[in-house]
A and B are shown apart, each in its own frame.
Chain A
Amino acid sequence: MSLPSACLCTLAAALIIGTAAAAKGSLHLFANGEALAREGFIAPALTRDGWELRFDHVFVTLAGVSALQTDPPYDAHAGDKPRATDTVVFDAIDQMTIDLTDTDAQGRVMLATAPAPAGHYNAVVWSVVPAQSGDWAGQSMVLVGTATRDGASVDFTLTSDATHDYTCGEYVGDARNGFVTAGSDAALELTFHLDHLFGRLDKEDADPMNIHALGFDAFAAGGTHQMTLTGLHIGHVGEGHCAVSHR
């Protein structure tokens, strides 16, 4: 092989390797409090103890968010440590306080976009942490709104200073998400199920969610209250489950 040919081959190989290494797309991350955050607990979906809730704000402070490709797929039920083959860290969410009532047209809150190697992101790790600054410094969740039952209304502010660490499996929803291919985008979602806080009157009393939920009676006097969220599974990925620990 002549020297020019060898150079051309080397150059071609470098280009191929470079292209493979650059086989990246983008991963968009959203948060979603679903209709219960945006529209509130409205009949028939009242709280388990019959309150209508409407929220002015649902503040959540997020940190430590990563999307993972796991093999085998992470089993949140087992709760083991996920075996990641690739990890995308969302550095932009070092500490981010969002309002789940302040959404885009699809009802979601855009959190961040990060370059991501191609593959299926079938697990997400994230935390809800006390805010380090701002009006609600020290609180990880703050719900502000109005509760109504039997014609009487009270304004409330419910706070939590707990840290929740979530390790979630694959997003479960109308479409299977998280597939990044070279040059294409994919989306993942952190989903907050507020009915795990307040329960649902349109579900059976024996439903485990209603058994464990706080309900609203404890806050019926209105004003500011601290919530204890230990044991509650608020964070999900769509309908998919997350293992959670509270600190």
Chain B
Amino acid sequence: MLSAIVKPLIAALLLAGPAAAHGAFVDMGTTEAVAIQARYDTGALMAGAQVSVFAPDNPAQPWLTGMTDADGRFVFVPGDRAGQWAVQVRQAGHGAMGYVTVGTDGAAITVTASRTGLSWAQRLLMVASVVWGCIGTALYFRRLRPAEPA
């Protein structure tokens, strides 16, 4: 009996959600991120390579996976989890690891980067660098006003 009432109610709420929206908001801000660029030792960029990011508190399982862009770049935001982050990049039998240590010092995040790795056939250079932007989280936030519905 209860199920007969609850199920239609949930379905109605799910259907009603998007229809009830009158606009959209975008919250913007700045934060610190880790940017990597993966290359072979020939200098060729590792475009479209498989990326796995491992967080300090669970280093055996990927925290994030993705793919490098056409320039071999990949960016992620480690947040406030202090410790050693590891980034693995692989492509067609070539692979390497890079490491970034994120420490917390009040609102500031300090980052040191190291690199390691040669590929199966060639040396792969993965540079972990930091987008040094503003210190702290979201120095400003700006909410874009929704456009007036037509």
Q: Contact residues of A with B, CB < 8 Å?
A: 72-78, 120, 169-170, 172-173, 175-176, 179, 193, 195-196, 203, 206-209, 233, 236, 238-242
Contact = CB atoms under 8 A, between A and B. Distances in A.
Interface residues of B, number: 28
Interface string B119-143: 1111111000000000000000000
Contacts of A233: 118
B41 interface: yes
Given A73-B86, A175-B60, A242-B118, 10 more contacts: A74-B116, A78-B116, A172-B96, A172-B97, A172-B117, A176-B59, A179-B59, A195-B121, A240-B118, A241-B96
A82 B90 CA distance: 23
A196 B122 CA distance: 10
Residue from the set B41, B54, B124 with the largest chain A CB neighbour count within 10 Å: B124
Contacts of B125: 77
Closest 7 A/B residue pairs (Cβ): A241-B118, A239-B95, A209-B121, A172-B95, A75-B116, A169-B116, A208-B122
Contacts of B123: 77, 208, 241
20 contacts: A73-B86, A73-B97, A73-B99, A75-B114, A75-B117, A77-B117, A170-B116, A176-B52, A176-B54, A206-B42, A208-B122, A209-B122, A233-B118, A238-B95, A239-B90, A239-B94, A239-B119, A240-B117, A241-B116, A241-B123
User: Taking chain A's interface residues, is the majority helix, strand, or loop, or is none over half, making it mixed?
Assistant: loop
Contacts of A206: 42
Contacts of A203: 121
